Amino acid sequence: MMQGIRIAMTTAALIGLPIGGVHADQTISEMALEASPLFVRTMIVGAADEVQQRQFFGRIAALETADLSFEVRGYLSLLDAPRGSFISAGEHLAALDLEPFERAVKRAELTLAQAERDLERLQTLASRNVSSQVRAQDAETARDLAEVALRDARDALADAQLVAPFDGIVADRLVATFTNITAGQPILRLHNMSETRVEFDLPERILATIGDLSMVAFSTILPGQTEPVPLAFREIQAETGAIGQSYIVSLAIEEEVSSLVLPGKTVTVTARLLQHQDALPVPATAIVTRPDGETAVVVVTERDGELRPEFAPVEVRSATGVDLTVVGLEPGAEIVELGGHLIAPDALLARYTGLIVEGN
């Protein structure tokens, strides 16, 4: 009987020993796992300011283009304006036959002289009561009309000569010499190059995202140069094209340009916009959904010399439907880029820097 009890106790001891050993090994393993850090891949969230850059095809344009014409009719006797030539303000470009206009001035001068003599004679007779005061007043009116006719004749003589109203380039001659010209008929087309402009088409969808064009930094590389030059915003055409739904933006080259920069020359316009964004771009793998349904990212913080996770709630946005941004995160924060949903709140972290192979 006693021998049977000793056999049962021995069997129970043999069975209990391995069971207690396995439990001890599991406890030791769990403690080791808790003590070892969890390697995670982290990233630094960039600043909220972002520079957007786009390029557009533009063209050199003049400040304005004007068609010059005579204000009087006549016979075109002089047209000295070669195409593509640079002209200065006040320079004579064309003239009508001046002889008829000079004769008209001479007639007006003679008529005025006669009107002044008649006025003087009638005023003397009226003072002596030989003639009526009414005749003297009529003579004064005739003298005034003769003065007006003389001014008109002199203006017509001046208008028979065409001078450049500004510094520019002769774009085209619209008539030939030795032809009869009517008043207002275009003679020359001039480009006003007192300020060189650059124009390009801006789609309306891009304009809606930019807003104020004066906040955009424009630049271009001019023909014959290698370094970009800045462009200043001047104006925008306040109506879109019939087909392209785009606005024409006009920029100014504020520095002196060479003679190679002619209207119509194509250039590339670079637009750079510094935008302040309240949303920071993050990868989709960095976003964690909490048990309460809120979204967060795991921020890596250092506490007592150890790296610990901190779940920061954020608002997720997507302007394109592909790229994600978050609101509520400070620029420069270090976050877990991948696997944040596997991290416990009290886990010990370590930065994953890649595989290292050690050997002799």
Q: Where are the strands (E) in 208-343, listed by range?
A: 217-220, 229-236, 246-253, 266-276, 280-281, 287-289, 295-303, 306-313, 315-317, 325-327, 334-336
Residue 170 within any structural domain of the chain = yes
CA atoms of 285 and 298, how far apart (whole Å):
11
pLDDT, position 27? 52
Residue 249 within any structural domain of the chain = yes
Task: Please indicate, yes or no, whether residues 127 and 166 belong to a single structural domain of this protein.
Answer: no
* 360 band by pLDDT with thresholds 50, 70 and 90: very low
CA atoms of 281 and 316, how far apart (whole Å):
10
The CB-based long-range contact list for 50-54 (8 Å cut-off, 24+ gap) reads: 50/274, 50/275, 50/277, 51/272, 51/273, 51/274, 51/275, 52/272, 52/273, 52/275, 53/270, 53/271, 53/272, 53/273, 54/206, 54/270, 54/271
Q: Which of 229, 257, 276 is the last residue of a domain?
A: 276
pLDDT at 349 over 50: yes
pLDDT at 9 over 60: no
Residue 58 within any structural domain of the chain = yes
**Cβ-contact 154, 105 below 8 angstroms:** yes
Task: Please indicate, yes or no, whether residues 208 and 253 belong to a single structural domain of this protein.
Answer: yes
Residue 127 within any structural domain of the chain = yes
Residue 126 within any structural domain of the chain = yes
pLDDT at 154 over 70: yes
pLDDT, position 2? 41
pLDDT digits (tens, 9 = 90+) for 111-134: 999 999 988 888 888 777 766 778
| Domain with 87 in it | 70-98+160-185
Question: What DSSP string describes 132-181?
Answer: -HHHHHHHHHHHHHHHHHHHHHHHHHHHTEEE-SSSEEEEEE-S-SS-EE
Residue 225 within any structural domain of the chain = yes
- State mean pLDDT over 2-12: 41
Verdict on whether the full-model pTM lies above 0.85: no
Task: Please indicate, yes or no, whether residues 89 and 136 belong to a single structural domain of this protein.
Answer: no
Task: Please indicate, yes or no, whether residues 172 and 269 belong to a single structural domain of this protein.
Answer: no
Q: What is the CATH number of the domain that holds 216?
A: 2.40.30.170
Task: Please indicate, yes or no, whether residues 168 and 244 belong to a single structural domain of this protein.
Answer: no
pLDDT, position 37? 85
Q: What is the CATH number of the domain that holds 136?
A: 1.10.287
Task: Please indicate, yes or no, whether residues 86 and 105 belong to a single structural domain of this protein.
Answer: no
Write the burial class of residue 70 (CB in 10 Å: 0-12 exposed, 13-18 middle, 19+ buried): buried
* 141 band by pLDDT with thresholds 50, 70 and 90: very high
Task: Please indicate, yes or no, whether residues 171 and 80 belong to a single structural domain of this protein.
Answer: yes
Task: Please indicate, yes or no, whether residues 219 and 197 belong to a single structural domain of this protein.
Answer: yes
* 51 band by pLDDT with thresholds 50, 70 and 90: low
Task: Please indicate, yes or no, whether residues 166 and 144 belong to a single structural domain of this protein.
Answer: no
Task: Please indicate, yes or no, whether residues 211 and 266 belong to a single structural domain of this protein.
Answer: yes
pLDDT digits (tens, 9 = 90+) for 261-289: 888 888 999 988 765 566 788 888 889 98
Residue 343 within any structural domain of the chain = no
Task: Please indicate, yes or no, whether residues 198 and 234 belong to a single structural domain of this protein.
Answer: yes
Quote the number of domains for the chain: 3
Residue 46 within any structural domain of the chain = no
- Bridge partners (DSSP) of residue 272 are 53, 217
- State mean pLDDT over 199-205: 87
Q: Which of 185, 202, 225 is the last residue of a domain?
A: 185
Task: Please indicate, yes or no, whether residues 74 and 180 belong to a single structural domain of this protein.
Answer: yes
pLDDT, position 18? 43
- State mean pLDDT over 139-144: 89
